[in-house]
Amino acid sequence: ENAEKVAAEFGIEHVANDWQELVQRDDVDLVSVVTPPATHLEITLAALAQGKAVLCEKPMAMTADEAKQMTEHAQQANVLALIDHELRFLSNRHAMRAMVHKGAIGKVRHCNYVFRSDYRAVLDRPWDWWSDEKMGGGTLGAIGSHAVDSFRWLLDAEVSEVSALLSTHIAERPDKSSGGMRRVTSD
C-alpha cells in the first residue's frame, strides 16, 4: 500500500510485492538491498544469481563467512557488488581526507570515533528489527561499520585494533503487535 503510494507520487511504473519478484525482472539492472542485515545474504545471492548488480546497505552481512560468500558470488558472476558506505560522499569527509593525505595534521597515530545521537534513546520508540540482535540490529553494526570504514578510507590503511564498550540502555520497547513490552537484545 505504501509502495504503491510512493510509486504514484514519483511516477514509478511497477511495484513489486516482494524482493523475489523484483530480482527476477528482466528490466531490473541493479538491486539495492536496504533490508535488515539478517536478510542481506539471501537477497544478495539471489540478485547476483540473476546477473543483477548489487548495492548492499551496511553492515554487509551477519558474519565474515556470509560476507565472503557474497563477495565470491559477485566475483564468479562478474557482477558489480558494492557496500553502501554513504558517509564517504560527504564533502566534509573529502576535506578531511585531503588534509590527511597532504600531511596537514602530521602523521596519524591514533583515531577515536565518537557517535552521539538520541535516535535510539527515545523511550517510546516501538520495538523493531533494530532492537533484535538476531536480525542485525544494534549500534555496533549500524555505526561501528561507519567508524571502521571511515578510518580505512580516510587513512588508506587497515585498522589494526578496535576497542568498544557496548550496552543496552533501554531494555524493553513497546511492541505494536501485542500492545505489551518486548525485550531488546541488541546494543
- CATH for 2-84 is 3.40.50.720
Domain 87-183 falls in which CATH fold?
Dihydrodipicolinate Reductase; domain 2 (3.30.360)
Backbone angles phi, psi at 54, to 5 degrees: -130, 135
Q: How far apart are CA 62 and CA 166, in angstroms?
A: 17
What local confidence, expressed as pLDDT, does residue 139 receive?
Answer: 86
Given this model, what pLDDT does residue 22 score?
Answer: 93
Q: What is the pTM of this model?
A: 0.87
Kindly give, in sequence order, each residue whose CB lies less than 8 Å from that of residue 30, ignoring residues fewer than 6 positions away: 52, 53, 54, 55
Q: What is the pLDDT of residue 182?
A: 97
Residue 58 confidence (pLDDT): 93
Strands (E) in 41-92, as ranges, are 53-57, 81-84
Tell me whether residue 37 is exposed, middle or buried, using C-beta atoms within 10 angstroms of its C-beta: 0 to 12, 13 to 18, 19 or more. Answer: buried
pLDDT of residue 71: 98
Among 45, 133, 65, residue whose Cα is nearest residue 56: 45
Q: Strand runs (DSSP E) across 23-135, as ranges?
A: 30-33, 53-57, 81-84
Check: CB of residue 166 under 8 Å from CB of residue 140: yes
Q: State how far the Cα of 8 lies from the Cα of 37, in Å rounded to an integer.
A: 28
Strand 181-183 vs strand 172-174: parallel, antiparallel, or unpaired?
A: antiparallel
The confidence score (pLDDT) of residue 95 equals: 97
Distances, alpha carbon 177 to alpha carbons 4, 32, 180, 181, in Å: 24, 28, 8, 10
Give me the residue spans of the domains in the chain: 2-84, 87-183
pLDDT tens series, the chain, 187 aa: 788 899 999 999 888 889 999 999 999 999 999 999 999 999 999 999 999 999 999 999 999 999 999 999 999 999 999 999 999 999 999 999 999 999 999 999 999 888 887 777 888 899 999 999 999 999 888 888 999 999 999 999 998 888 888 888 899 999 999 999 999 999 8
